[in-house]
Amino acid sequence: PPASHFVCPVAAVIPVPEDVDPKAAVFLANMETAVNLVLDAKPLLGEHVVVLGQGVLGLLTSSLLAQFPLASLLTVDAIEMRRSLSQQAGAAQVFDPDSESDIDSLHEKLRSDAANSGADLVLELTGSPAALNLAVASCGYAGRIVVGSWYGSKRAEINLGERFHRHRMSIVSSQVSSIAPELTGRWDKARRFTQAWEMISKC
């Protein structure tokens, strides 16, 4: 966890690959989390994907998702600079959650482009549990909502009736401290680190 000092055993040190800029290496922990999110989200060919939150983790996750042959990649963030960076990372369109017209446009876009009036996959990376209601409102029939945010002790009322119940949505918890059980036969933390370094070298 964050601290002013840390004693690290030599065996635990991870060398920076020669092809990775040391300044980019500072993103290793965030990129490892982004890789884990994508593994948990399981994006499929031709899917409509929405990413809520374009902080460092959201931007890295969007940059990975932009490499998939998706039907669309839409992102949401309240900060203008982040929305601009999100488009640079590969988002087709970016929306402001504080703008009612933007959110109306997001839902209209999903209604016109996506089967069953919603995204196939929504990733919630804002750090705000209230954003789960926007995730539910943006998700389509039998869609997946992957929660990568750390809420700590924060709580919010979430509407799990109406649209959520009728549309048979799934909410998946993603946490980088472990690897999804169905992947552990082939994936371990060393492989995930290797993949994270490769993604950093490509960004």
pTM: 0.93
Residue 48 CA: distances (Å) to CA of 7, 16, 39, 58: 44, 35, 17, 16
Answer whether residue 1 shows pLDDT above 70.
Answer: no
Answer whether residue 73 shows pLDDT above 80.
Answer: yes
CB 77 within 8 A of CB 97: yes
Answer whether residue 58 shows pLDDT above 80.
Answer: yes
Answer whether residue 113 shows pLDDT above 80.
Answer: no
In tens, the pLDDT along 11-30 reads 988 899 998 999 999 999 99
Task: Tell me how far the alpha carbon of residue 27 is from its chain's centroid.
Answer: 15
Percent over 90 (pLDDT), the chain: 82
